[in-house]
Chains A and B, each alone.
Chain A
């Protein structure tokens, strides 16, 4: 039986990799994909705790995280399409209309 700590450390590492992706990438689609990666790392901790505490609440929480992540991906991609129609770019550095 693999200890709980291993799962938590693995999830922390994957979450940190997702943070790197959000910070350094200059492509909106890849930034969204990094956010999905971070959400999945959190899901892994939920499932691991659910298994080790013997409670179903963690699995239900993962269910809701998936629903919210699907909604977030849909809206994010719709915004990306809308922005790309206006400006023909996916670079967040180019979107500085509101920057003072």
Chain B
């Protein structure tokens, strides 16, 4: 077992551990912190897979912006009461998820595709990503920008305090 495989298993173990913490910790802020750790480990995986630009975006957009948004909402709402535990659903959901994993894992492990295309020096660089993005995927890019604009307007409208709610309604 060479060094890269060893590092992969180390990071994979940490990723699974932090994912379990996201799901099973009872305090919401602890879940958010575990999710930050998981997102950072996934960013490390991106960098090791010759996708440095996407890795940087992962750290900035996910671990930065989106998680700050989550933490801001958590602090804003301040949900103090811990949720109660439902025994039946825990068993059922865990069984379902284990079934899903048991179906997915053999599917992925059956075909052995060890040989990969040798990565060139530029593969995954911002330049190549931008060329691909603005040549082949211009229309989806514009649609994504419209989607983000709609999301901004929708969030403002949804989260705005309604004036009439404290009176008539």
Interface residues of A (CB under 8 A from B): 1-10, 12-21, 23-27, 29-30, 32-34, 36-37, 40, 43-44, 47-48, 50-54, 56-57, 59-60, 62-64, 66-71, 73-75, 77-82, 84-85, 90-91
The CA-CA distance from A16 to B15 in the complex, in Å, is 13
> With contacts defined as CB atoms under 8 Å apart, how many contacts are there between chain A and chain B in the complex?
230
Asked whether, in the complex, the Cβ of A79 is within 8 Å of the Cβ of B158, the reply is yes
Report yes or no: A70 in contact with B151, Cβ–Cβ below 8 A: yes
Bound CA–CA A50/B55 (angstroms): 14
Chain B residue with the shortest CB-CB distance to A26: B83
B94 near A20: Cβ-Cβ < 8 Å: yes
- Chain B positions 1-26 with a Cβ under 8 Å from a chain A Cβ: 4-5, 8, 12, 15-16, 19-20, 22-23
Q: Which of these, B111, B117, B129, B154, contacts A54 with CB under 8 Å?
A: B117
Residues of B in contact (CB 8 Å), total 84
Q: Let me know if A13 and B101 touch, CB within 8 A.
A: yes
Docked CA distance A34–B23 (Å): 7
Give bound CA distance, A34 to B39, whole Å: 12
The residues of A that contact B168 with a CB separation of less than 8 Å are none
Report the separation of the CA atoms of residues A15 and B125 in the bound assembly, to the nearest whole angstrom.
Answer: 27
A17 close to B158 (CB less than 8 A): no
Determine whether the beta carbon of B66 is less than 8 Å from that of A36: yes
Min C-beta distance of A3 to chain B, whole Å = 5
Given contacts A30-B31, A40-B42, A69-B66, contact A21 B108 (CB under 8 A): no
* Chain B neighbourhood of A19, CB < 8 A: 93, 96-97, 100
Query: What are the 3 A-B residue pairs with the smallest beta carbon separation, nearest first?
Result: A54-B117, A23-B93, A71-B151
In the complex, the answer to whether A1 meets B151 with C-beta atoms within 8 Å is no
**Residue from A3, A15, A16, A23 within 8 A of B113 (CB atoms):** A3
Complex contacts, A78 vs chain B, CB 8 Å: 154-156, 158-159
CB atoms of A37 and B108 under 8 A apart: no
Known: A12-B104, A81-B73. A57 touches B132 (CB 8 A): yes
